[in-house]
Amino acid sequence: MTTNDLSTRHVAFDWGGVFTVGTFDGRSTQNVSERSGVALDRVRESYFRHVHQLEVGAWSLPQFWTVMQQEAGIGLPYSEFEPLYLGSIADHTPMYASLAALPPGVRVGLLSNNYPVVSDHLRRDPRFRRFDALVFSNELGHKKPSQEAFAALERAMGVPAAQVAFVDDVQENIDAARAAGFHGLLYHHERHHEFEAALADWLRV
């Protein structure tokens, strides 16, 4: 059986809120505030004003940090910011276990609104070897819920969207995935067992 056999089903995932607990942005801004001593609301105001530039790859992470330093009055150098930023990732271990348990014939993809340096960090993670396709918004230039993002995922998966379930923790992204022809599975980390049952039903395993 080939991966293009119409009887074969596959799966693609979001990253933040699916392979992480909570939001990476919330945790990273909290950590920056605590380390720098700058008020959290001031850090977040600057962060969320400009994070789109990272998500579509318009800025590098050092560029983004320079703007935040100047705008929010943060004295923390980039050499300290980058490890703090990457250290803000909180793994959701049950999902990594589910990833590892997927049958060998199932193609696995990732479509993530992500950032320079973070996407490189994830690629180096040995657990990501299970993925057949990694699509990051900062490399693509388009972010979910745009149809361009889902079209790129379909191309990267190498199978029709109708054969792929897309897993995300945001309803807007699930709606966009369904509009692009994917089967949508809305995820919540507190209902992981329900998700596993729904995925098994989709994969017919």
- Per-residue pLDDT of the chain (205 residues), as tens digits, is 344 454 699 999 999 999 999 889 999 999 999 999 999 999 999 999 999 999 999 999 999 999 999 999 999 999 999 999 999 999 999 999 999 999 999 999 999 999 999 999 999 999 999 999 999 999 999 999 999 999 999 999 999 999 999 999 999 999 999 999 999 999 999 999 999 999 999 999 7
169 neighbors 18 (Cβ within 8 angstroms): yes
Say if residues 113 and 16 touch (Cβ distance below 8 Å): yes
Grouping H, G, I as helix, E, B as strand and the rest as coil, residue 68 is helix
- 26-30: long-range contacts, CB 8 A cutoff, minimum separation 24: 27/88, 27/90, 28/84, 28/85, 28/88
| pLDDT attached to residue 205 | 72
Asked if residue 82 belongs to a domain, the reply is yes
With 0.85 as the threshold, say if the pTM is over it: yes
* CATH number (domain holding residue 185): 3.40.50.1000
Q: Counting Cβ atoms within 10 Å, is residue 118 exposed (0-12), middle (13-18) or buried (19+)?
A: buried
Of the three residues 48, 65, 86, the one that is the final residue of a domain is: 86
Q: Which residues pair with 166 in a beta bridge?
A: 12, 184
117 and 47 in a single domain? The answer is no
Helix (H) or strand (E) holding 64: helix 61-72
Please indicate, yes or no, whether residues 196 and 101 belong to a single structural domain of this protein: yes
Which CATH number goes with the domain that contains 41? 1.10.150
**By the 8 A CB rule, do 47 and 29 touch?**
yes
Domain contains 3: no
Residues 56 and 127 grouped into a single domain: no
In a domain, residue 158? The reply is: yes
What was the pLDDT predicted at 79?
98
C-alpha span between 74 and 110 (Å, rounded): 33
Same domain? For 119 and 174 the reply is yes
Residues 99 and 43 in one domain: no
Q: For position 5, what pLDDT does the model report?
A: 54
2, part of any domain = no
Do 82 and 102 lie in one domain? The reply is no
**Domain range for 178:** 10-22+91-203
Same domain, 164 and 191: yes
Instruction: Please tell me whether residues 102 and 61 are part of one structural domain.
Output: no
What is the reported pLDDT for 64?
98
Q: Which strands sit side by side in the sheet containing 133-136, from one edge to the other?
A: 133-136, 108-112, 10-13, 164-168, 183-186
Domain count within the chain: 2
CA–CA distances in Å: residue 190 to residues 84, 112, 187: 27, 21, 9
Same domain? 98 vs 188: yes
pLDDT for position 1: 32
Please identify, among 86, 106, 123, the residue that sits at the C-terminal boundary of a domain. 86
Q: What is the pLDDT of residue 7?
A: 62
Residue 122: exposure state from Cβ atoms within 10 A (0-12, 13-18, ≥19): buried
Residues 78 and 111 in one domain: no
Residues 108 and 169 reside in one and the same domain: yes
